[in-house]
Amino acid sequence: MKNKTATPTLDAFLASQAHPLEAEIHEVRKVILGLGPGLREEIKWNSVSFRNENDFFATVHLRSRTTVQLILFTGVKKKATAETGVPVEDPAGLVEKWLAKDRCLVSLGKGAAFEVSPIVTERGGVTSSRDHVRARRSVTRTAAIIGDAASGDAA
């Protein structure tokens, strides 16, 4: 399965939401789709959602109008991680809160405090390019761990 780019249907859906952080959400979409082959986006749960070949692993939290937020999770169907949890390092402090043992809310910022190329900033804002690299690694690792759990590959 090849890596898909933004789709006209998804672009139209997002435009219809008149979201104040639409530009930042488009950047998040590009970054997530660029994380690896086989990733794609779809409209699910009335939002932009991301999946790998096996299952969904992330959804943009469109109700948040003040900061870009993602809900990362281990898939649609209940897995063992719902009881055991998913070990995730978060040195950049991007996880806003754990919604369940296998689902977390990640805040990525907005406007000047939001950068996706090189990626996202820490919640408190930009402090250095080193923090951007740490934040990128943190989000990438978190998405990879959650995506692996969605595939059933997590330990």
Summarised one tens digit per residue, pLDDT across range 53-109 is 888 989 999 999 988 889 988 888 878 877 887 777 777 777 888 888 888 888 887
**pTM (2 decimals)?**
0.70
Confidence of residue 143 (pLDDT cuts 50, 70, 90): low
Mean pLDDT (whole number) for 6-15: 82
pLDDT of residue 152: 57
pLDDT per position as a tens digit, 28-55: 888 888 878 888 999 999 999 999 888 8
DSSP of 118-133: S-PPBTTB---HHHHH
pLDDT the model gives residue 134: 47
**What length is written for the chain?**
155
**pLDDT of res. 16:** 93
Q: What is residue 75's predicted lDDT score, i.e. its pLDDT?
A: 82
**Whole-number Å distance between alpha carbons of 141 and 92:** 12
Mean pLDDT value across residues 8-22: 90
| pLDDT at position 62 | 94
State the sign of the Cα–Cα–Cα–Cα dihedral 54, 94, 102, 65. Answer: negative
